[in-house]
Amino acid sequence: MKGKCLFNYTNAMEKTIGNDGVLSTDIEHIKNEIEESYNRLFKKYENKELGFMDLIYQKDLTTYNELKKYSKDFEYIIIIGMGGSILGAQMVYEAIKGIYYNEHTTNKKVYFLDNSDPEKTFEVLNLVDLEKTLVFAISKSGNTAETIANFLIVRDRLKNNIKNYVKNIVIVANDGMLREMAEKEGYMLFDVPKNVGGRFSVLSAVGLAPLSCMGINIEMLLNGARDMDKLCKNKDIFKNPALMNAVIHYILYNKGKTVAVLMPYIERLHKFGMWYRQLWGESLGKDGKGQTPVVSVGAKDQHSQLQLYLEGPKDKIITFLRVNKFKNDLIIKNSNYLSGHNLSELLLSEQEGTEASLTSRNVPNVSIVIDELNEYTLGKLIYLYEMQTAFMGELLKINAFNQPAVEDGKRITRELLRGKSIEELTGFKSYDKNYIIEM
């Protein structure tokens, strides 16, 4: 299982789109800045601060293979988590298995509880046979409020309906309430390396433990990431796709391109876009800096957002994700110019047309072209974006691996649930009725 990938940045350069692109002298002018950013990042790696770069070289997958065998007796999987603790597994699952995989009657059904929405949790619990359900609760800190809340609800259902319910639960946590419960009650338990942040954790137990139970080839996922790592360690920017893409985004950000749009032309990569949105936004949105990540899906969002991209504010850089070979295809018949063509030909022609239209209006765009979507090429794509984000953080001179503002929101939430008021916690008074309109 292999697959070629290409990074094409022709349409982001001055040669193609004039002054709206990256000038031939721009990269040369910040050559020292690029070198310093590269060196700072790899110094952090040498100091064991960046565990995500080591995850891809884990050799012993025995534990995951044993978990895979154990899971064969279950017909349903529920994964409970928030943000980086669940998006990675969700993204890989949908990219490899497809959007409607659960609808095939013979397949193991997989459900993701990624919010504290009571109706969603209620519906999932009504869809599964608890006796035949394997539950993953994932939180590195072990204290994520939404994850604990959903887990306690699901655990109580299991406890009230199954005699030996412990066998139905797997915990992935380092500390906190979840780990304490796992150790006290005897649940299967996985650790997360302390130097790996949530949104960079898909290739740790956070992603690999549940994915191993879903029929995903995790070894090929890691192989793809390893092969990408060889490119990402190259100091020559013209041979390092992650560094080059980070530099292009950085230069254009400084020219007012404050919105970064990711536009996959395949439905299976929609969740990849959601994963990217968290990775790029939460890693880089600090100290008044950062690009706003937006996800569009081609070709359908040509009919909702493309008008804005073409004639709206010139504040965007677009990245196309294109897959050349589809697992399944359909032929169009009984039409004029469409007749005899495959559906994939229409989709890819629409991508080419959108790319040409944006380029003609000097909207900078780059393309990542994948020969075919499988675990190997997805592993490459995951690691490319993790490294691109890390390089961009160094170029912006920010810490791409924390999220201080989010932590403050979590603190306020906990105190509200303990009975304190918003005014006590923040100094803000309650809503002014003069500014409320009843509808």
Give the residue numbers annotated as catalytic, written as ranges: 282, 303, 410
Preceding omega of 299 cis (within 30 degrees of 0): yes
Query: How far, in Å, CA of 40 to CA of 45, rounded?
Result: 9
Stretch (H or E) spanning 321: strand 316-325
> What does the DSSP assignment read for 337-385?
TTTT-BHHHHHHHHHHHHHHHHHHTT--EEEEEEEE-SHHHHHHHHHHH
H or E stretch at 292 = strand 292-295
Cα distance from N-terminal residue to C-terminal residue, the chain: 57
Nearest C-alpha neighbor of 171 from the set 121, 205, 120, 128: 205
Angle at 40 between CA 38 and CA 42, to 5 degrees: 70
Amino acid identity at 131: E
CA pair distance 90, 86, nearest whole angstrom: 6
Cα 332 from Cα 338, distance rounded (Å): 6
For residue 79, the surrounding DSSP H or E stretch is strand 76-80
Q: Report CA Rg, the chain.
A: 23
Contact of 241 with 387, CB cutoff 8 Å: no
309: helix, strand or coil? helix
Spell out where 141-187 has E strands: 169-172
Q: Is 366:320 a contact under the CB 8 Å cutoff?
A: yes
Task: Return the beta strands (E) in 81-202 as ranges.
Answer: 109-113, 133-138, 169-172, 188-190
Nearest to 134 by CA among 84, 75, 186, 175: 75
